[in-house]
Chain A
Amino acid sequence: QQQVKQSPQSLIVQKGGISIINCAYENTAFDYFPWYQQFPGKGPALLIAIRPDVSEKKEGRFTISFNKSAKQFSLHIMDSQPGDSATYFCAASRDYKLSFGAGTTVTVRA
């Protein structure tokens, strides 16, 4: 049973466009929400993370929006580049454990 639900499963965006990935959770005990980026043949790498007492966090072209009341959070990739083509995972943490969403494969067309 997936504790974190992620959508869409895949998306295609033109270079320079905006990619938006959404996640939802049920367990209010989660206390940390990271996003990971994974390229083929590599392990996931932390992209950006947020704690539930913050509504938005921006790092470069990547922004997390967090809605605690709705138990939802999303990743926005601005000015998408071909090098952003990868699989993105949202996750939620509690008790030394990360629960991952199913992943979103993002393809950026040049």
Chain B
Amino acid sequence: KAGVTQTPRYLIKTRGQQVTLSCSPISGHRSVSWYQQTPGQGLQFLFEYFSETQRNKGNFPGRFSGRQFSNSRSEMNVSTLELGDSALYLCASSLNGPPDTQYFGPGTRLTVL
């Protein structure tokens, strides 16, 4: 089975721009979660989707949004980028969501200049 794929792997944007990241889960997995990883804050939960519904959301501003499509693929969007948004954005898929085992993708490295 193919693993979780994330595109693009690297992104460079400037402040004020917006960005869309994509995640394709493992075939058959219906849950997709997103995390932000930074050296200072570690791994922070952004949101979780299951069958196109957001079931939980972390403590991030409204500039961070996401969605899930009927094929379970997910996208997250960050609008009005700030320098502090520079991070590794990780997507994880699982059959039905935590506590089912989450399988992480390699991440998208976002740099905001």
Residues of A near any B CB (own CB < 8 A): 2, 31-32, 34, 36, 41-46, 49, 51, 89, 93, 95-103
A100 touches B56 (CB 8 A): no
A97 touches B48 (CB 8 A): yes
- Measured between C-beta atoms, what is the minimum distance from B60 to chain A in Å? 13
Interface centre among B4, B50, B56, B102 (most CB of A within 10 A): B102
A45 touches B48 (CB 8 A): no
Provide the residues of chain B in CB contact with A93, threshold 8 Å: 98-99
B106 touches A102 (CB 8 A): no
B:65-93 near A, CB below 8 Å: 90, 92
- Measured between C-beta atoms, what is the minimum distance from A9 to chain B in Å? 11
B58 touches A97 (CB 8 A): yes
Residue of A nearest to B92 (CB): A43
Provide the residues of chain A in CB contact with B35, threshold 8 Å: 98, 100
Provide the residues of chain A in CB contact with B33, threshold 8 Å: 96-98
- Measured between C-beta atoms, what is the minimum distance from A8 to chain B in Å? 14
Q: Mark B30-54, 1 if CB is under 8 A from A, else 0.
A: 0101010000001111001010000
